[in-house]
Amino acid sequence: MSVTSGFFNSLNGDRKYNAEQMSAIFDGIINDGVFANIGTAFGVKADTGNVLTVGIGRAWFNSTWLLNDAILRITADASEVLLDRYDAVVIEIDHSDQIRNGSIKIVKGTPSSSPQKPAMISTLDVHQHPLAYVYRRAGTSSINQSDITNMVGTSSCPYITAILQVTNIDNIVAQWQDQWEQWFANETSKNNNQLTQWMSKKQLEFNTWFSNLQTILDGDVAANLAEQILELQNQFGTLAREYRIYQEVDDFDSNPIEDSYGSTIEGKIVYKIT
């Protein structure tokens, strides 16, 4: 450790400052996070297929700034055949000598029957901050917006609202999650009750029908069936006992017979119930 200061005019190159010292100006003034009032604060949205878009935004992480001034399209790896996984869209700050850059990238998760969200890297040189987690369902060819959990504004990736201020909405997200779970539980309970009532009703109807069928077939089957047939005949007896059907009368060549006016002659067939 040593005492440093700056900035002072250089005489013959005796005062040279690096990027870390330049960024140190803002240490203690701007806290790490995403600026809430710039663009859409890196909002992540589903596009087509495996493509995601990251909105316009500006961030300050690990003594460096990162700006995305246009919609950024990034493509995730295809989903797995059998297992689900979580992917993460992250801001990555890499201070290593080989990279020295900030970027937005996708971190692929590990496929599993119980998938976990990828752990963010946090080393001396490399730091990752999640913009969103994406649930990749096995066997799917596209990403739905409902599969995306945006993390901007949470404690993992807070909003910068003013100098020396950051805001996270963990409590609001938790409240939304609790409200969703309560609504889902209520709807599930209500639908289960309706299904149970419907099944009970249909079971009672079936039991009644089966009981009547057993009564008909119990003992002397022929006598019981005859009684049912007789009952039906008696019911029909209260209806009209004569039915007429009108149709054309044809000659031996199957041609309709016409009268002197050229009209087709119709015959009448009468059915009587006795």
In a domain, residue 95? The reply is yes
Question: Same structural domain for residues 185 and 145?
Answer: no
Question: Same structural domain for residues 115 and 212?
Answer: no
| Count helices and strands in the chain by DSSP H and E runs | 3, 14
pTM greater than the 0.85 cutoff:
no
Contact (Cβ atoms closer than 8 angstroms) between residue 58 and residue 65: yes
Q: How far is CA 107 from CA 80, 119, 130, 224, 274, in A?
A: 15, 9, 9, 76, 86
Question: Same structural domain for residues 138 and 215?
Answer: no
Which residues, listed in sequence order, are joined to residue 94 by a DSSP beta bridge? 101, 126
pLDDT tens for the 274 residues of the chain, in order? 477 777 788 898 888 878 878 887 777 778 899 998 899 999 999 999 999 999 999 999 998 999 999 999 999 999 999 999 999 999 999 999 999 999 999 999 999 999 999 999 999 999 999 999 999 999 999 999 989 999 998 889 998 876 655 666 665 666 677 677 777 878 888 888 888 888 888 888 888 877 777 666 666 666 667 677 777 766 665 555 666 666 777 777 777 777 777 778 777 776 666 6
Question: Same structural domain for residues 31 and 103?
Answer: yes
Question: Same structural domain for residues 266 and 206?
Answer: no
Question: Same structural domain for residues 140 and 41?
Answer: yes
Domain residues for the domain of 74 are: 19-168
CA gap 195, 201 in Å, rounded: 10
In a domain, residue 115? The reply is yes
Number of compact structural domains in the chain? 3
